[in-house]
């Protein structure tokens, strides 16, 4: 049976959601984050990088969210959750599937990093670290993040979903950046289309079932 190696509160929640949308049977092997929020070393027994999401299926071990989504849709989708080939929607689908991790998550990760740095710095260095972090956030990270959020808003003004007027696996992939932006990027300020997108995905029964099976999920909540 297909197995999802599921790290709590991680991107692997998207994989559970996709499987619920497709109605594919699967089992979950659970891993808990360490106190420093890193994945436990046991995940390295599944994949050398020891990161999540990872799935195993029919002798294949597949990592990376985009690769997993492509594999699951191709193997089990029967044409569902992906636009037809050689259409503008298919091109948009492919773009958003790769953009989510390739571009969107970079400023969000930097935002998290520079926000945490002062809290984790030694007490004597904290004022200096806070000054450097705030400067980086103000001049580099926040402007980039706003540019991305404005971009999402503009694209969602063109169609209800990222690849067009039909819900696809690209929307599942894009859920994590938007949820992270809601949690720590100020998405709710001036981005009603993006916020409406989050309301729509959170209302999907398959999303709710994935939350029940995956456990606590704090990003964007």
Nearest to 50 by CA among 33, 72, 69: 33
CA gap 45, 124 in Å, rounded: 40
Confidence category of residue 50, pLDDT binned at 50, 70, 90: confident
Does residue 221 register a pLDDT over 60? no
Note whether 108 and 187 are within 8 A (CB): no
pLDDT in tens, 126-159: 999 999 999 999 999 999 999 999 999 999 999 9
Percent of the chain having pLDDT more than 70? 98
Query: How many residues are given for the chain?
Result: 221
User: Would you state the pLDDT for residue 190?
Assistant: 96
* SS3 assignment, position 180: helix
Q: What is the mean pLDDT of the segment spanning 171-175? A: 98
Question: Is 15 buried (19+), middle (13-18) or exposed (0-12) by CB count in 10 A?
Answer: buried
**Helix, strand, or coil (residue 209):** helix
**Mean pLDDT over residues 61-68, rounded?**
96
Res 36 pLDDT > 80 = no
Domains and CATH numbers, the chain: 3-82+208-214 (3.40.30.10), 88-204 (1.20.1050.10)
Whether the CB-CB separation of 169 and 73 falls below 8 Å is answered with yes
Cβ-contact 182, 220 below 8 angstroms? yes
Q: Mean pLDDT over all residues of the chain?
A: 93
- Alpha helices by DSSP H, listed for 51-191, are 65-76, 88-99, 105-120, 126-136, 142-158, 169-184
Supply the pLDDT for residue 185.
Answer: 93
Q: How far apart are the first and last CA of the chain?
A: 31
pLDDT tens-digit map of 88-137: 999 999 999 999 999 999 999 999 999 989 998 998 889 999 999 999 99
Q: At what angle are helices 65-76 and 169-184 packed, to 10 degrees?
A: 150
**Token code pair at residue 116:** 């945490």
Question: 55 vs 15, 68, 152, CA distance in Å?
Answer: 9, 7, 29
Q: Cβ neighbours of residue 215 under 8 Å, at least 6 residues apart?
A: 8, 9, 30
H/E run at residue 29: strand 27-31
Rounded Cα distance between 168 and 203, Å, is: 15
Check residue 97 and give its pLDDT: 97
pLDDT digits (tens, 9 = 90+) for 1-16: 999 999 887 889 999 9
Please name which of 176, 180, 141 lies closest in space to residue 162, comparing C-alpha atoms.
Answer: 176
**What value does the mean pLDDT take over residues 50-60?**
93
Quick one: pLDDT at residue 219? Answer: 67
């Amino acid at each position: 049976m297909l197995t999802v190696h599921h790290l709590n509160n991680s991107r692997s929640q998207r994989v559970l959601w996709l499987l619920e949308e497709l109605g594919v049977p699967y089992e979950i092997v659970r891993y808990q984050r360490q106190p420093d929020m890193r994945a436990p070393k046991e995940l390295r027994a599944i994949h050398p990088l020891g990161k999540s999401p990872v799935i195993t299926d029919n002798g294949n071990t597949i990592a990376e969210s985009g690769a997993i989504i492509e594999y699951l849709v191709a193997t089990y989708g029967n044409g569902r959750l992906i636009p037809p080939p050689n259409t503008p929607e298919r091109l948009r689908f492919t773009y958003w599937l790769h953009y989510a991790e390739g571009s969107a998550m970079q400023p969000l990760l930097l935002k998290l990093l520079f926000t945490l740095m002062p809290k984790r710095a030694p007490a004597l260095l904290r004022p200096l670290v806070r000054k450097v972090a705030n400067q980086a956030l103000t001049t580099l990270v926040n402007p980039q993040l706003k540019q991305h959020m404005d971009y999402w808003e503009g694209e969602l003004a063109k169609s209800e979903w990222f690849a067009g007027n039909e819900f696809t696996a690209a929307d599942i992939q894009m859920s994590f950046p938007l949820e992270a932006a809601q949690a720590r990027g100020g998405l709710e300020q001036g981005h009603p289309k993006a916020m409406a997108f989050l309301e729509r995905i959170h209302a999907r029964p398959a999303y709710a079932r994935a939350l029940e099976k995956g456990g606590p999920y704090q990003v964007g909540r």
